[in-house]
Structure 1
Amino acid sequence: MPADDYIKPYEKNWFWQLALKDWRRYSDIMLVALVANVLALSGMVFSMQVYDRVVPSQSEATLWVLFGGVMIAIVFEFVMRMLRVHISDVVGKRADLRISERVFAHALRIKNGARSKSTGSFIAQIRELESVRELITSTTIAAISDLPFFLLFVFILWMIGGPLVLVVLLAVPLLLIPGLLVQRPLGKLSSEGMRESAIRNATLVEAVQGIEDIKLMRAEQRFQNQWNNTNDVAASVGMKQRWLTGLLLTWTQEVQSIVYAVVLLVGCYLVISGDMTTGALVGTSILASRTIAPLSQISGVLSRWQSAKVARKGLDDLMQRPIDDPQHGKKVHKAHLRGDYVLEDVGFYYDEEEKLSVLNISKLQIRAGERVAVLGRNGSGKSTLLQLLAGMQEPQQGSILLDDIALNHLDPADLRRDMQLLSQQARLFFGSVRDNILMGNPLATDEEIHQALVNSGALEFVRKQKMGLNTLINEGGTGLSGGQRQALLLARALITSPTILLLDEPTAWLDEVSEKQFIQHLHQWLGKRRTLVVATHRLPILDLVDRIIVLENGKVVMDGPRDAILHQHGMATPKAAQRTVTMKAAAVAEEGVA
């Protein structure tokens, strides 16, 4: 699928555009269905001829000719129906892949501020594809393709059975009305089921991600109870859905039996009165069952429709969420970004309801090539500032300019080409060390990988592994120490050779030796052209910077040259044992590490 298709603006009929993209193949399905349904009449014709001609004349030759003909028709009907299944599966598979691709691509590009707060709920929304997929399966397509031939069968039934056609026509509302009546309760149950599925997914994700904490806090029973309660509600909802669906299915089967019985009952009177032959009665009874069959299948489709409808609603909600690079909003392309930031009247908050300001900056400028440290107490807004500078979050008020262009007007691909943010929540992914490092720069050479490992301090760790760069990393870096994970994440950030480097506590998990090596290598790597903004509590990191910005309650309370601020607060000559910076009363102070 072309890249532009991923970033198209939301369209109400996006689903059907993708599902019916191969609409010409549906004409093939209808043609095959026509041939199959015409051949299906062979059984009726065979029965009529046997009872009306073969039996009275006792002609064995005619019997075998008719039998051979009906067997050929049955074989061809089987071939046609299997061909329809194959074409339907191919068309359904293509539509399924297109829809899945579009939804997942959109989910990956949703802006951070528009994502669901619960990971489990977000996963549940994407998993609704399973329910929507039911609409494009071969079973559903077969039921719909057979429906138009109901009128053909009714016409033939009228030609052969005369008044017996009324029995079938009277059965139509008996089949359709119950199916329509259960749509409302099925819709409510589907909505409840989707909600419970989201809660269950959220519980599962939270439990899996925090399994160690759950064990240490002896909270297994709490999560077990939560899981059991959610499952109990979901099972009850599912049972009600199955009961209604089963009721509808059983009812359609009984109506079919009733139609067959009534056709025989009325037909017997017509045979007795001489208005119909025995063969016509047998053929009519067979044809009546064939005529009712498509309507019975539609009842099954209606029972699945509500689940798919609710799932579609959830997917529509997902597809309406704003993405990083919408096609309808033309973005500015830049061949090279220097890293010249200007923030004016920037205000940002996470909670849309309470609107508690996390960051409130009236004026801030970071020049290209500057090395800036952002200091402040926990919760002062350091990480949020880096998120805004990286374009991962957008301010609710004010503007952020990068190289004299509004940050939200820049093409995200250009921004992420020349900028790297290493946040505290950065993750390693399942795969080899090489796969993880090359994620941001797939074309990097082995020499570039080696240099990135050297600069990050991860080279020693990789050398000790038997498989080297091919060492397998578990999901999230499970099994690695905090320092090893952080070193590999640093290597992944550096291999893209960004001109703008944003680091959030980059050495929080490194020991003194690794931290010192990292600072030395990074100092050489930065040179004079790269812009560095680092949020930290570690004193050694300040050797990398020439400017310090101090945040308190989301506001800039101090901003100036590093040495001037350190002199001002008596930190010009830090002690060797001091490795952390603690903010007290909007001032920079040092804190010894025991």
Structure 2
Amino acid sequence: FQNQLNHMNEVSADVSMQQRKIVGLMTAWTQKIQGLTFAIVVLVGAFAVMEGDMTTGALVACSILSSRMLAPISQITGVLGRLQQAKVAKSGLDELMKKPVDQPDYSHLIHRPALDGHYELNGVVFKYGDDDPKPSLMIPKLEIKPGEKIAILGRNGAGKSTLLQLLSGMQTPLQGKVKLDGIDLTLIDPSDVRRDMGLLNQNSQLFYGSIRENLTLGAPLATDQEILEALQITGALGFIQEKKEGLDHIILEGGVGFSGEQRQALLLARLLIRQPKILLLDEPTAAIDDVSEKQLIDHLKGYLTHRTMIVATHRRAVLELVDRILVVNDGKIVMDGPRDQILNQSQGGNKRVVGASA
């Protein structure tokens, strides 16, 4: 991300420099034209005055009129520069206005005071693009009850992350419906979904600002006690206490300066602070070592009480948190059942499915 930002800044600086050069050349050119025209008027008029064909007053009037007539030329360069800026701004606004909105004027969204996490998927088919040769995910029927703790297992590219995106409402199925608490997920007010649902995907980022500002992005009214409790659960409290500024320590864009394990702990803490009733986690312990992972799992066991959790993982230790397993392969759910039953059925193929490092 930082490299992309630096590249975009470099390109923007080059374009801006070229534009300034062109505007400078045009400004100098118009000034020369004005000066040359004024000199010609005065020179020709002076000879006419000496020969008696023109009065001095007429010469002065001609010089003033020529200056007034040529003055707009000097403004052309500024207008051209602003015109280019206006074109770019209009293009950006057009693209922004084409984006879908959370709450269209014609929509009739349903407000829910609380979401429990009861999912029903029926005839779901999802593609990332119309050109895809086959669907990325096909789920004829799936039900997730409130309070269930479910692990989604499968190889890379099997469709685990896609399923989490559908459950979060970040993606919409091409066919079929995803219902949450008996209501089509697309009809529920997005603010209600964000209030009760927490999604931690592999693209989550830390932003420039203090640790406190990053942690409270979704919960601006969170108290220091709530922040510290979340940090304690994820194991981030220790390395934050080592910082001289503590929660006021500045994080660089993308979390530069923190290890992958520390970044993941902070991202998970940011989610837990919001106290969501539904947790959708995509590889939450991928960058965490075995010891820290064990501590995190022990802390999460109490936190997850009365909460719904769906986690995509390759780590065997995470399975301690779940009571049900979905095995996804090639966009389809090939196994679904209690944790111990699925693991016993897998036997020799379990390591390939789970991808456990332990």
Equivalent in the alignment of 1:282: 60
Deviation string 1:96-123 (CA, Å, 9 cap, x unpaired) is xxxxxxxxxxxxxxxxxxxxxxx79xxx
Provide closer, same or farther for how the CA distance between residues 457 and 248 of structure 1 changes in structure 2, counting only shifts above 3 A: closer
Q: Distance in 1 between matches of 2:260 and 2:22?
A: 52
Equivalent in the alignment of 1:384: 162
Which structure shows the bigger proportion of residues in helix conformation?
1
Is residue 345–residue 398 contact of structure 1 (8 Å, CA) maintained in 2?
yes
Provide closer, same or farther for how the CA distance between residues 289 and 426 of structure 1 changes in structure 2, counting only shifts above 3 A: same
Q: Distance in 2 between matches of 1:590 and 1:268?
A: 96
* Runs (5+) with no aligned partner, structure 2: none
Q: Distance in 2 between matches of 1:353 and 1:268?
A: 78
Normalising by structure 2, report the TM-score.
Answer: 0.85
Equivalent in the alignment of 1:553: 330
Provide closer, same or farther for how the CA distance between residues 306 and 535 of structure 1 changes in structure 2, counting only shifts above 3 A: same
Normalising by structure 1, report the TM-score.
Answer: 0.53
Instruction: Give SS of 1:582's match.
Output: helix
Q: Are positions 1:328 and 2:105 aligned together?
A: yes
Give the C-alpha shift of residue 499 in structure 1. Answer: 0.5
Equivalent in the alignment of 2:36: 257
RMSD value, Cα: 3.4
Amino acid at match of 2:351: T
Amino acid at match of 2:317: P
Give the C-alpha shift of residue 475 in structure 1. Answer: 2.5
Q: Are positions 1:246 and 2:25 aligned together?
A: yes
Give the one of 348, 351, 356 matched to 1:582.
351
Equivalent in the alignment of 2:239: 461
Q: Distance in 1 between matches of 2:94 and 2:206?
A: 30
Deviation string 1:514-542 (CA, Å, 9 cap, x unpaired) is 222222221111112x1100001111211
> Which residues of 2 match residues 113-152 of structure 1 at below 5 A?
none
Further displaced range: 368-377 or 454-463: 454-463
* Runs (5+) with no aligned partner, structure 1: 1-118, 121-200, 209-226, 572-579
Which structure shows the bigger proportion of residues in strand conformation?
2
> Which residues of 2 match residues 177-576 of structure 1 at below 5 A?
204-205=6-7, 238=18, 242=21, 246=25, 250=29, 253-254=32-33, 257-258=36-37, 261-262=40-41, 265=44, 269=48, 277-293=55-71, 295-304=72-81, 306-330=83-107, 331-354=109-132, 356-528=134-306, 530-570=307-347
What is the number of equivalent residue pairs in this alignment? 355
Deviation string 1:383-426 (CA, Å, 9 cap, x unpaired) is 12112212222233332222222222222222111111111222
Further displaced range: 254-263 or 488-497: 254-263
Instruction: Give SS of 1:569's match.
Output: helix
Instruction: Give SS of 1:399's match.
Output: strand
Instruction: Give SS of 1:518's match.
Output: helix
Q: Distance in 2 between matches of 1:506 and 1:531?
A: 16
> Which residues of 2 match residues 44-193 of structure 1 at below 5 A?
none
Amino acid at match of 1:502: L
Amino acid at match of 1:303: L
Provide closer, same or farther for how the CA distance between residues 269 and 494 of structure 1 changes in structure 2, counting only shifts above 3 A: same
Instruction: Give SS of 1:378's match.
Output: coil
Give the C-alpha shift of residue 297 in structure 1. Answer: 3.0
Is residue 271–residue 278 contact of structure 1 (8 Å, CA) maintained in 2?
no
* Percentage identity across paired residues of the two chains: 45
Deviation string 1:533-552 (CA, Å, 9 cap, x unpaired) is 00011112112111111100
Equivalent in the alignment of 1:148: none
Q: Distance in 1 between matches of 2:148 and 2:69?
A: 79
Instruction: Return structure 1 stretches of 4+ with deviation > 6 angstroms.
Output: none
Q: Distance in 2 between matches of 1:592 and 1:469?
A: 33
Q: Distance in 2 between matches of 1:345 and 1:271?
A: 97
Q: Distance in 2 between matches of 1:450 and 1:204?
A: 34
Provide closer, same or farther for how the CA distance between residues 307 and 380 of structure 1 changes in structure 2, counting only shifts above 3 A: same
Instruction: Give SS of 1:320's match.
Output: helix
Give the C-alpha shift of residue 303 in structure 1. Answer: 3.0
Q: Distance in 1 between matches of 2:257 and 2:281?
A: 24
Provide closer, same or farther for how the CA distance between residues 474 and 545 of structure 1 changes in structure 2, counting only shifts above 3 A: same
Provide closer, same or farther for how the CA distance between residues 281 and 449 of structure 1 changes in structure 2, counting only shifts above 3 A: same
Is residue 346–residue 398 contact of structure 1 (8 Å, CA) maintained in 2?
yes
Q: Distance in 2 between matches of 1:527 and 1:279?
A: 96
Amino acid at match of 1:567: N
Give the C-alpha shift of residue 497 in structure 1. Answer: 0.3
Deviation string 1:138-178 (CA, Å, 9 cap, x unpaired) is xxxxxxxxxxxxxxxxxxxxxxxxxxxxxxxxxxxxxxxxx
Instruction: Give SS of 1:434's match.
Output: helix
Is residue 314–residue 354 contact of structure 2 (8 Å, CA) maintained in 1?
no
Give the C-alpha shift of residue 466 in structure 1. Answer: 3.6
Instruction: Give SS of 2:233's match.
Output: helix
Provide closer, same or farther for how the CA distance between residues 312 and 591 of structure 1 changes in structure 2, counting only shifts above 3 A: closer
